[in-house]
């Protein structure tokens, strides 16, 4: 299989590409991978250097917002896995325009090209944030979309576009909606990499509000395995939630990171809550588990320890990114 991976120089996309080339994704052994990425602030070629010499790997510098870029690179592929997106909620609060341009219009351009070129398979990678906040229980895939941030609204819009191209045109699409990811090569503006790198440098960490916002944490390797299952076995037109099964408040997670970096609670700097900050996310993964055999494999404590150690060992990777972005 020849797979076109948009946003493959970013966090989740690059993990997917590396795992595919390393033959650790179910059903994708010996697949060829084309990473198509605009290399915006959070995408970096250093995320791909481990696979750059593989004869099964190709990198194309291009933008999903540019139909000519997509049309030039896409022919000959068997599947699209669409990661490319603006994804940092905080940035969407202050400037939503690029989120609409990339996440909505970019997805529409990609869908049009997939349709024109008769690409056999299209998997759209989305987020549990499209459901909005939930006080108790867990969302299943039938939950109505109630996004509360410009980011999640743009992702919900792209989800609906993907669905429409299946219903209207018969395009073989599936949508995945994941919970909060953590892992290596995570751009250091998100909570875990920002907090870990700050703590390693002896700096305080900014904890929003009362710290009681709850998220379900999913190791990026488990997420990528779930996406591979949907790509190879998922039903056309269907949505699949992918979760990790570890729900923690931000305060609980922060304390775990303090312990992992040998810091105390004096390193917590309470800050005003983010506008529109959803209180709790939780996804029901019964559908992907029963239909496709998905189950998260990475225990959270083990995964978090590995991530902290990776950031200890790879300052060369994250220090330039933080300096460049003023983090």
Residues annotated as catalytic (active site), given as ranges: 128-129, 151
185 near 136, Cβ under 8 Å?
no
- Nearest residue to 181 (alpha-carbon basis) of 132, 237, 223, 134: 223
């Amino acid at each position: 299989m020849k797979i076109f991976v948009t946003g493959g120089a970013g966090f989740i996309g690059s993990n997917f590409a590396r795992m595919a080339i390393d033959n650790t994704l179910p059903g994708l052994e010996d697949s060829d991978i084309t990473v198509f990425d605009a290399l915006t602030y959070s995408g970096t070629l250093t995320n791909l250097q481990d696979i750059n010499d593989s004869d099964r790997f190709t990198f194309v510098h291009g933008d999903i917002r540019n139909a000519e870029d997509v049309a030039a690179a896409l022919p000959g592929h068997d599947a699209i896995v669409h990661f490319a997106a603006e994804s940092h909620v905080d940035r969407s609060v202050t400037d939503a325009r690029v989120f609409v341009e990339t996440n909505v219009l970019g997805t529409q351009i990609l869908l049009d090209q997939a349709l024109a070129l008769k690409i056999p398979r299209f998997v759209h990678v989305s987020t549990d944030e499209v459901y909005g906040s939930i006080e108790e229980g867990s969302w299943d895939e039938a939950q109505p979309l109630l996004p509360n941030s410009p980011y999640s609204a743009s992702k919900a819009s792209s989800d609906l576009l993907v669905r429409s191209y299946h219903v209207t045109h018969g395009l073989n699409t599936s949508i995945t909606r994941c919970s909060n990811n953590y892992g290596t090569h995570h751009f250091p503006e998100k909570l875990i990499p920002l907090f870990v790198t700050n703590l390693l440098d002896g700096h305080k960490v900014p904890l929003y509000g009362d710290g009681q916002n709850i998220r379900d944490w999913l190791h990026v390797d488990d997420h990528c395995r779930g996406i591979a299952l949907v790509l190879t076995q998922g039903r056309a037109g269907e949505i699949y939630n992918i979760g990790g099964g570890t729900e923690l408040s931000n305060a609980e997670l922060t304390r775990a990171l303090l312990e992992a970096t040998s810091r105390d609670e004096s390193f917590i700097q309470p800050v005003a809550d983010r506008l529109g900050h959803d209180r709790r996310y939780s996804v029901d993964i019964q559908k992907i588990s029963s239909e496709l055999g998905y189950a998260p494999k990475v225990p959270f404590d083990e995964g978090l320890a590995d991530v902290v150690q990776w950031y200890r060992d790879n300052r060369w990777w994250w220090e330039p990114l933080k300096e460049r972005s003023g983090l």
